[in-house]
C-alpha cells in the first residue's frame, strides 16, 4: 500500500477529501470522529475504587489496630474460658468490635479523602489541557488537542508540540525534534516533497509525529493518524505515565510515622515488662492486667491522621493556587514554592503589559514622535524637522514586511493578533499609511526566517522586479554588529559611523523604551533560495530604529515590595536592552539604585562559572541574555543554596525551567513545550500570580507545621497520661491500682475523632498575617525544627500530667473506675481542643483570631459535643467504659483544661520564652 509520505500533498488531500483552503467541515469532523475515535492515548486504567478502599487498610495505624483487635479477642477468650470473668470478657469483646468499627470508619475516611484528592487533581489536570490550531470551515481556530480528527489541517510554529501524526503540506524553515521516536536529539528539517521509496521513520522528511517539538519555523500538516494510531501510540505502552510524585514532606512524614511505630512497639513492650514485674511472675494473668493499657498506648503513640492530613493540605494548596491562576503541576511544587528565595522573571509580558506601541522612531534621516496609544491605527507622526514621513523608507518597509502580526477591527474595536512587538510596528505602518498588503503587491515573500531569542532577529527574503532582498528586524545592537553599512542622512556610510544610531538607541532605552532596528541586504537568487540563516543575516545595512513603549503592569510594584519584605530576591532576566531593563526594574522597585548593575549576556559569555558565582548574589538585572545564560545563572544561584523560581516563555527556555527548582511557564503566551516542562503555569501570565503562589506555598507549609505540632502534642499527652498511670498508681478509693488512666477505646476516640477532625480543619486555615514578613525557610530544615520538639514535649507532658491529676482527683472524690477514666478522657479532649487554637499559631494563642477558621470552629464544636455525648449515652457507656458525670464536673472538665495552654502561652508572651 502506498504510504502517506509517498504521495504528493495534493494526493493526500484528495485521499482524505480535504480542501486545503476550507479544512474539514463540521459534518466531516463528526464522521471522521465516528470512524477514527478521539485523539487520546489509551491511558493507564484508573485504579478501581475497591483497591483505593483497601489501601486504607495498609496505613500503619490500621495494622496496629488489627493487632489490638486480635489481642482483645484473646483477652476476651481467656477471661471467659479460664478466669470465668464474664464482665472482663464482655468488655474485651466490645473493645474488639468497637476497634473494628473504627478501623472501617478510618478506611472510609481515607477512601473519601483519596477520591476527593483524585477529583481535585483530575480537575487541575484538565485545566492543563493542550490546544492546537486547526483549519475548519475556512477558519483557523484553536481547539483542545483531544478533538483533533483525521483529515484536520493543523498549523504549528516554533514552541508547539505536533499533536498527531501529520503529512506536512506547507513548511517554512520548519524544524522538529523527534528524539522520543528516533533517539536523535538534533532538530530535523522538514519539507513537503513526496518520497518515492520505502523510508525509515527517521528519514521521512515530509511527515510529523505526535509528541515532536517544533524547534524552528512553521508548518501546516494534514492529520493522518491520531491517538493510539500514531507512532507515539505504538510505543505508548512502553512509556510509563508519570505518577503523582510524593513530596519530600510526604516522605519525611512517612519516615516519622514509621519511627513512631517503633517507639510505640517499645512502649508496649515496656508496659508488659512493668506488668510482669508488678505481678512478680511471668503469666497470662500478669500480661493481661496491663494489656488494656498497652493497647491504649500503642494506639495513642501513632499520629495516624498525619498522612491523610498531609495529602489533604497539599491538595487544598494546589486547588487554592489554581483559584489564584497558578496551576501547580505536582504536589511537590506546592511545598517547594513556599521555600522559594529567588524569583527570576522575564520582563516582557510578565512584569510589563505586553501591550506595545511605537512612540518614537528614527529612519536614518529624521527622528519622529508617534502619537496615539494602543492598537487603534490613528495618531500623528511628528518629525523633529519639518519633513513628512518618507513612505518609501526602507525602515518602514522592513518594519511592516518582516511582520506576521495583524490588527483587525471588530465592532469598532481594534483587536491585535500575533507578537506584540510586531503588532506595534504594524500599527505604526498603518499610522504612516504603509500596509503589508500594499507592500506585498511589489514584494513577494519567498522565505521567512522566524525570530528566535538566541539570534534576536527575524528576516524575510523578498523577490521584487529588481531582484532579491533580505529585510531583517531585531535588537539594534545585534543588527549594528552584523551591519557593514548604515543609512545616515539619506546616504549609505560605513558602519563604524554608528554613533548617531547608538545615541538614539541609548536615549530610547533610558526612557524605558524597547528598541528594535531594521536592516536590509540585497542578495542573489541563489543566496535567496539556498543560504542558511547565519549566511544571510550578515553584511546588513541598518536603516532605522524604533522605540516601543511597553508599560509595567501596575500591580507588580506592590508584589515586588511584598516579596522583598519576605526576603525573596526578585531578578529580571530579559532579552531586552540593558538600559531599558534597568529603567523598568527601577520603576518597579526591583532595584533601588537608578544606576544598578546590569550584567549582559555578552559578559556572562566571558565569565567562568566561578566568576558568575561571585556576582549572582547582589545582581538583580540581566539583559540581552539567551536561554542558555538563564541555566548558568540558575546553577550558580543554586550553588549558593538558593531556591530559584524562574519564568520562561520560549521553546529554548524549557531546559532552564527544568533546571529551576520551580519552573514557571506562561499560560497565555507560553509555548506548549515550556508549559510541559514547568512546575507552575501562570494562567494569567501575571507576575503577581507568582507572589500569590509563593504565599500559598508558605501557608500550606505553615498549616502542615501547625497540624504536626497539634497532632504530636496530643499524642505525647495521651502516652504520658497513660505512663503516669502505669508507674504511679496505687489503689485509690474505688479505683484499683491497675486501672489505666484511659480505656483503649477512649484513646481511640480521641485519636480518631476529637483530635483528628480539628486537625483536618487546620488544613483549611488562612495564613498568619506576617507570613510574608519572614525569611524563606531552609529546605533542609526539619519540619520539627525551631524548638518544635521541645514545644511538643513540654506542652504534651503538661497536658498528660493534668489528665492524670484529673483521674486521681476523681478517684479521691470517690468516683468509680469508669467515672475516673471519663474525667480523664474529657480533660484530655478539652485540653486538646483548647490547645488546637494555640497550635495554629507559630507564636501563641494570643496572636491569632480564633474565629478566622470557620472549619476549625465547627470541628471543635463537633468534637466537644460528641465527646460529651459518648459519656451520657448508655450504649457508649457500655462499649467505651464511659460514665455520666455531675454537671459541675462537666463544666470543670471543659474549662480547667484551658489552663495549661493559657498559662504556658502567657508565660511565653511575657518572658519571650521560645522552648514552648
Ligand atoms: P523577556 O526575555 O523579558 O521576555 P524580550 O521579549 O525583550 O524580553 P526577547 O524576546 O529575547 O526578549 O527579545 C530580545 C530582543 O529581540 C528585543 O529587545 C527586541 O529588540 C528583539 N525582538 C523581540 N521580538 C522581536 C521580533 N518579533 N522580531 C525581531 N526582533 C525582535
- Return d(Cα 60, Cα 256) in angstroms, integer: 12
- Among residues 184, 176, 228, which one has the least CA distance to residue 205? 176
Beta bridge partners of 485: 494, 541
- Which atom of ligand 1 lies at the shortest distance from residue 649's CA? 4
Cα distances (angstroms) measured from residue 736 to each of 725, 742, 767, 821: 11, 13, 48, 12
The CATH number of residue 659's host domain is 3.40.50.1000
Model confidence at 833, in pLDDT bands (50, 70, 90)? very high
CA 781–ligand 1 middle distance (angstroms): 40
Residue 662 inside a domain? The answer is yes
Cα distances (angstroms) measured from residue 520 to each of 44, 217, 433, 494, 504: 54, 20, 21, 15, 20
- Say if residues 128 and 185 touch (Cβ distance below 8 Å): no
Do 522 and 385 lie in a common domain? yes
CA 350–ligand 1 middle distance (angstroms): 13
CA 509–ligand 1 middle distance (angstroms): 14
- Which atom of ligand 1 lies at the shortest distance from residue 624's CA? 14
- Return d(Cα 156, Cα 164) in angstroms, integer: 11
pLDDT cut 70: percent of the chain above it = 97
Model confidence at 244, in pLDDT bands (50, 70, 90)? very low
CA 158–ligand 1 middle distance (angstroms): 15
Model pLDDT for residues 306-344, shown as the tens digit of each residue: 777 777 788 888 888 888 899 988 777 888 898 999 999
Do 403 and 278 lie in a common domain? no
Cα distances (angstroms) measured from residue 235 to each of 7, 164, 232, 604: 25, 14, 5, 42
Continuous H helices in 37-169? 49-55, 60-78, 86-127
Q: Where among 641, 659, 685 does a domain terminate?
A: 685
- Which atom of ligand 1 lies at the shortest distance from residue 402's CA? 28
Spell out where 178-287 has E strands: 188-189, 207-208, 213-225
To the nearest 10 degrees (0 to 180), the angle between helices 556-565 and 687-728 is 30
Please compute the mean of the pLDDT values over residues 843-850 and round it to a whole number: 84
Model pLDDT for residues 674-714, shown as the tens digit of each residue: 888 889 999 998 999 999 999 999 998 888 889 888 988 99
Do 307 and 371 lie in a common domain? no
Do 521 and 567 lie in a common domain? no
- Return d(Cα 254, Cα 286) in angstroms, integer: 35
Host H or E run for residue 527: helix 525-530
- Which atom of ligand 1 lies at the shortest distance from residue 453's CA? 11
Model pLDDT for residues 32-81, shown as the tens digit of each residue: 999 888 888 765 456 777 877 887 777 666 777 788 888 888 888 888 88
Do 509 and 618 lie in a common domain? no
Q: Where among 548, 571, 595 does a domain terminate?
A: 548
Residue 648 inside a domain? The answer is yes
Beta bridge partners of 518: 473, 544
To the nearest 10 degrees (0 to 180), the angle between helices 284-300 and 60-78 is 150
Residue 102 inside a domain? The answer is yes
Give the residue, out of 358, 401, 516, 602, with the most ligand 1 atoms within 8 A of its beta carbon, to mutate for a pocket test: 516
Catalytic positions: 346
Phi and psi, residue 143, nearest 5°: -130, 155
The CATH number of residue 877's host domain is 1.20.1110.10
CA 434–ligand 1 middle distance (angstroms): 23
Do 319 and 430 lie in a common domain? no
Number of domains in the chain: 3
C-alpha 590: how far from chain center:
24
Phi and psi, residue 58, nearest 5°: -95, -5
Nearest 10 degrees: CA dihedral of 43, 49, 50, 54?
100
Do 480 and 370 lie in a common domain? yes
The residue with cell 528586524 is 473
Give the residue, out of 512, 575, 652, 668, with the most ligand 1 atoms within 8 A of its beta carbon, to mutate for a pocket test: 575
Spell out where 364-513 has E strands: 367-370, 381-383, 406-410, 413-417, 444-452, 457-464, 467-474, 483-488, 491-494
Give the residue, out of 421, 626, 665, 666, with the most ligand 1 atoms within 8 A of its beta carbon, to mutate for a pocket test: 421
Residue 644 inside a domain? The answer is yes
- Return d(Cα 762, Cα 496) in angstroms, integer: 68
- Among residues 633, 553, 615, which one has the least CA distance to residue 342? 633
Lowest mean pLDDT segment, chosen from 62-76, 353-367, 652-666: 62-76
Task: Enumerate residues lining ligand 1, CB below 6 A.
Answer: 346-349, 419, 421-422, 451, 453, 456-458, 473-475, 514-516, 574-577
Do 321 and 332 lie in a common domain? no
Model pLDDT for residues 376-428, shown as the tens digit of each residue: 999 999 987 777 777 788 999 999 999 999 998 888 889 888 889 999 999 99
Phi and psi, residue 886, nearest 5°: -65, 150
SS3 748: helix
Count the neighbouring beta carbons within 10 Å of the beta carbon of residue 607.
16
Give the residue with greater pLDDT, 46 vs 653. 653
Whole-number pLDDT of residue 238? 53
**Is 384 exposed, middle or buried, given 0-12, 13-18 or 19+ CB atoms closer than 10 A?**
exposed
- Return d(Cα 148, Cα 132) in angstroms, integer: 8
- Mean pLDDT for the chain? 87
Model confidence at 369, in pLDDT bands (50, 70, 90)? very high
pLDDT at 741 over 50: yes
Do 458 and 474 lie in a common domain? yes
Do 744 and 857 lie in a common domain? yes
Report the nearest-CA residue for atom 26 of ligand 1: 451
Q: Where among 636, 667, 685 does a domain terminate?
A: 685
- Return d(Cα 265, Cα 297) in angstroms, integer: 9
Lowest mean pLDDT segment, chosen from 121-135, 235-249, 819-833, 894-908: 235-249
Do 677 and 703 lie in a common domain? no
- Return d(Cα 383, Cα 370) in angstroms, integer: 9
Helix/strand/coil (H/E/C) assignment for every residue in 828-852: HHHHHHHHHHHHCCCCCHHHCCCCC
**Is 786 exposed, middle or buried, given 0-12, 13-18 or 19+ CB atoms closer than 10 A?**
middle
Give the residue, out of 358, 404, 406, 456, with the most ligand 1 atoms within 8 A of its beta carbon, to mutate for a pocket test: 456
Whole-number pLDDT of residue 557? 95
Residue 142 inside a domain? The answer is no
- Return d(Cα 803, Cα 809) in angstroms, integer: 10
In degrees, rounded to 5, the angle at the alpha carbon of residue 737 between the alpha carbons of residues 731 and 739 is 125
In degrees, rounded to 5, the angle at the alpha carbon of residue 41 between the alpha carbons of residues 39 and 47 is 135
Residue 221 inside a domain? The answer is no
- Say if residues 893 and 831 touch (Cβ distance below 8 Å): no
Whole-number pLDDT of residue 334? 82
Count the neighbouring beta carbons within 10 Å of the beta carbon of residue 119.
11
pLDDT at 886 over 50: yes
Q: How far apart are the first and last CA of the chain?
A: 79
Cα distances (angstroms) measured from residue 878 to each of 522, 567, 871, 872: 99, 58, 10, 11
- Return d(Cα 194, Cα 172) in angstroms, integer: 16
Lookup: cell for 790: 521541645
The residue with cell 529567588 is 342
Model pLDDT for residues 566-614, shown as the tens digit of each residue: 999 999 999 899 999 999 999 999 999 999 999 999 999 999 999 999 9
- Return d(Cα 644, Cα 568) in angstroms, integer: 10
pLDDT at 437 over 90: yes
Residue 770 inside a domain? The answer is yes
Whole-number pLDDT of residue 627? 82
Model pLDDT for residues 471-496, shown as the tens digit of each residue: 999 999 999 999 999 998 888 999 88
Count the neighbouring beta carbons within 10 Å of the beta carbon of residue 500.
14
CA 477–ligand 1 middle distance (angstroms): 12
SS3 500: helix
Whole-number pLDDT of residue 289? 67
Please compute the mean of the pLDDT values over residues 489-517 and round it to a whole number: 92
Q: Which long-range contacts (CB under 8 A, 24 or more apart) does 848-857 make?
A: 848/768, 852/765, 852/766, 853/761, 853/762, 853/764, 853/765, 853/766, 855/761, 855/764, 856/758, 856/761, 856/762, 856/764, 856/765
CA 159–ligand 1 middle distance (angstroms): 15
- Say if residues 722 and 267 touch (Cβ distance below 8 Å): no
To the nearest 10 degrees (0 to 180), the angle between helices 788-812 and 898-911 is 140
- Which atom of ligand 1 lies at the shortest distance from residue 473's CA? 29
The CATH number of residue 397's host domain is 3.40.1110.10
Do 702 and 674 lie in a common domain? no
Residue 483 inside a domain? The answer is yes
Domain of 340 in residue numbering reads as 327-352+554-685
Whole-number pLDDT of residue 241? 39
pTM summary value: 0.80
Amino acid at each position: 500500500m502506498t504510504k502517506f509520505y509517498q504521495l504528493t500533498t495534493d494526493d493526500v488531500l484528495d485521499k482524505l477529501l480535504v480542501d486545503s483552503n476550507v479544512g474539514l467541515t463540521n459534518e466531516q469532523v463528526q464522521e471522521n470522529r465516528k470512524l477514527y475515535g478521539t485523539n487520546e492515548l489509551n491511558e493507564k486504567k484508573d485504579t478501581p475504587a475497591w483497591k483505593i478502599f483497601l489501601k486504607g487498610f495498609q496505613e500503619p495505624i490500621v495494622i496496629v489496630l488489627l493487632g489490638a483487635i486480635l489481642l482483645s479477642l484473646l483477652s476476651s477468650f481467656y477471661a471467659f474460658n479460664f478466669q470465668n470473668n464474664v464482665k472482663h470478657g464482655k468488655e474485651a469483646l466490645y473493645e474488639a468490635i468497637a476497634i473494628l468499627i473504627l478501623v472501617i470508619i478510618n478506611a472510609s475516611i481515607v477512601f473519601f479523602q483519596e477520591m476527593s484528592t483524585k477529583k481535585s487533581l483530575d480537575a487541575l489536570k484538565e485545566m492543563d489541557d493542550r490546544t492546537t490550531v486547526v483549519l475548519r470551515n475556512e477558519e483557523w481556530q484553536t481547539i483542545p488537542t483531544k478533538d483533533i480528527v483525521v483529515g484536520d489541517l493543523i498549523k504549528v510554529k516554533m514552541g508547539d508540540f505536533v499533536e498527531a501524526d501529520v503529512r506536512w503540506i506547507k513548511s517554512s524553515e520548519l524544524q522538529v525534534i523527534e528524539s522520543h521516536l528516533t533517539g536523535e536529539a538534533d532538530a530535523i528539517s522538514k519539507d513537503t516533497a513526496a518520497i518515492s521509496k520505502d523510508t525509515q521513520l527517521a528519514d521521512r522528511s515530509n511527515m510529523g509525529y505526535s509528541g515532536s517539538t517544533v524547534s524552528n519555523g512553521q508548518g501546516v500538516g494534514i492529520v493522518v493518524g491520531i491517538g493510539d494510531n500514531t507512532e507515539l501510540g505504538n510505543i505508548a505502552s512502553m512509556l510509563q505515565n508519570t505518577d503523582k510524585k510524593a513530596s519530600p514532606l510526604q516522605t519525611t512524614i512517612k519516615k516519622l510515622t514509621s519511627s513512631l511505630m517503633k517507639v510505640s512497639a517499645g512502649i508496649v513492650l515496656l508496659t508488659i515488662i512493668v506488668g510482669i514485674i508488678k505481678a512478680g511472675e511471668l503469666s497470662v494473668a500478669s500480661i493481661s492486667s496491663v494489656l488494656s493499657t498497652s493497647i491504649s498506648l500503642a494506639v495513642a503513640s501513632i499520629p495516624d491522621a498525619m498522612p491523610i492530613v498531609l495529602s489533604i493540605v497539599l491538595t487544598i494548596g494546589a486547588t487554592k493556587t489554581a483559584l489564584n491562576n497558578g496551576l501547580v503541576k505536582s504536589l511537590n511544587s506546592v511545598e517547594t514554592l513556599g521555600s522559594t528565595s529567588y524569583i527570576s522573571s522575564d520582563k516582557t509580558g510578565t512584569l510589563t503589559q505586553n501591550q506595545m506601541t511605537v512612540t518614537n522612531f528614527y529612519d536614518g534621516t529624521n527622528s519622529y514622535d508617534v502619537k496615539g496609544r494602543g492598537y487603534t491605527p490613528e495618531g500623528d507622526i511628528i518629525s523633529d524637522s519639518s519633513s513628512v514621513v518618507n513612505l518609501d523608507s526602507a525602515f518602514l518597509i522592513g518594519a511592516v514586511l518582516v511582520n506576521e502580526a495583524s490588527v483587525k477591527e471588530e465592532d469598532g474595536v481594534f483587536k491585535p493578533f500575533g507578537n506584540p512587538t510586531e503588532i506595534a510596528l504594524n500599527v505604526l505602518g498603518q499610522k504612516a499609511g504603509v500596509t503589508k498588503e500594499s507592500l506585498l503587491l511589489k514584494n513577494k515573500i519567498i522565505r521567512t526566517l522566524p525570530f528566535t531569542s538566541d539570534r534576536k532577529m527575524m528576516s524575510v527574503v523578498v523577490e521584487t522586479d529588481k531582484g532579491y532582498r533580505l529585510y531583517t528586524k531585531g535588537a539594534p545592537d545585534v543588527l549594528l554588529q552584523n551591519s557593514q553599512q548604515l543609512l545616515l542622512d539619506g546616504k549609505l556610510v560605513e558602519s563604524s559611523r554608528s554613533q548617531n544610531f547608538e545615541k538614539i538607541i541609548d536615549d530610547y532605552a533610558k526612557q524605558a523604551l524597547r528598541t528594535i532596528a531594521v536592516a536590509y541586504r540585497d542578495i542573489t537568487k541563489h543566496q535567496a533560495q539556498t543560504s542558511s540563516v547565519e549566511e544571510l543575516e550578515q553584511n546588513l545595512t541598518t536603516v532605522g530604529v524604533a522605540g516601543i513603549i511597553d508599560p509595567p503592569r501596575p500591580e507588580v510594584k506592590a508584589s515586588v515590595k511584598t516579596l522583598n519584605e519576605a526576603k525573596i530576591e526578585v531578578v529580571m532576566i530579559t532579552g531586552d536592552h540593558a538600559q531599558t531593563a534597568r529603567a523598568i526594574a527601577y520603576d518597579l522597585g526591583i532595584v533601588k539604585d537608578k544606576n544598578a548593575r546590569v550584567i549582559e549576556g555578552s559578559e556572562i559569555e566571558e565569565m567562568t562559572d566561578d566568576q558568575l558565582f561571585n556576582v549572582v548574589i547582589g545582581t538583580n538585572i540581566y539583559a540581552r541574555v539567551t536561554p542558555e545564560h538563564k541555566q548558568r545563572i540558575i546553577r550558580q544561584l543554586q550553588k549558593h543554596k538558593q531556591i530559584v523560581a524562574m519564568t520562561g516563555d520560549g521553546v529554548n527556555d524549557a531546559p532552564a525551567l527544568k533546571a529551576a527548582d520551580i519552573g514557571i511557564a506562561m499560560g497565555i503566551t507560553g509555548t506548549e513545550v515550556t508549559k510541559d516542562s514547568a512546575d507552575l503555569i501562570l494562567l494569567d501570565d501575571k507576575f503577581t500570580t507568582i507572589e500569590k503562589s509563593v504565599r500559598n506555598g508558605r501557608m500550606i507549609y505553615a498549616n502542615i507545621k501547625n497540624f504536626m505540632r497539634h497532632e504530636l502534642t496530643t499524642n505525647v499527652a495521651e502516652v504520658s497520661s497513660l505512663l503516669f498511670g502505669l508507674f504511679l498508681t496505687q489503689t485509690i478509693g474505688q479505683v484499683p491500682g491497675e486501672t489505666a488512666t484511659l480505656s483503649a477505646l477512649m484513646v481511640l476516640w480521641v485519636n480518631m475523632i476529637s483530635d483528628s477532625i480539628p486537625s483536618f480543619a487546620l488544613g483549611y486555615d488562612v495564613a498568619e498575617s506576617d507570613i510574608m514578613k519572614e525569611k524563606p525557610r531552609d529546605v533542609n530544615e526539619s519540619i520539627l525544627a525551631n524548638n518544635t520538639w521541645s514545644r511538643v514535649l513540654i506542652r504534651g507532658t503538661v497536658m498528660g500530667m493534668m489528665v492524670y491529676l484529673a483521674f486521681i482527683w476523681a478517684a479521691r472524690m470517690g468516683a468509680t473506675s469508669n467515672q475516673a477514666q471519663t474525667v480523664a478522657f474529657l480533660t484530655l479532649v478539652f485540653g486538646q481542643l483548647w490547645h488546637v487554637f494555640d497550635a495554629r499559631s507559630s507564636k501563641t494563642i494570643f496572636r491569632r483570631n480564633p474565629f478566622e477558621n470557620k472549619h476549625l470552629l465547627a470541628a471543635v464544636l463537633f468534637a466537644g459535643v460528641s465527646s460529651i455525648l459518648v459519656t451520657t449515652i448508655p450504649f457508649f457507656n457500655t462499649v467505651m467504659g464511659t460514665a455520666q458525670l455531675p454537671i459541675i464536673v462537666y463544666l470543670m472538665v471543659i474549662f480547667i483544661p484551658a489552663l495549661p495552654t493559657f498559662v504556658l502561652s502567657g508565660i511565653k508572651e511575657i518572658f519571650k520564652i521560645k522552648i514552648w
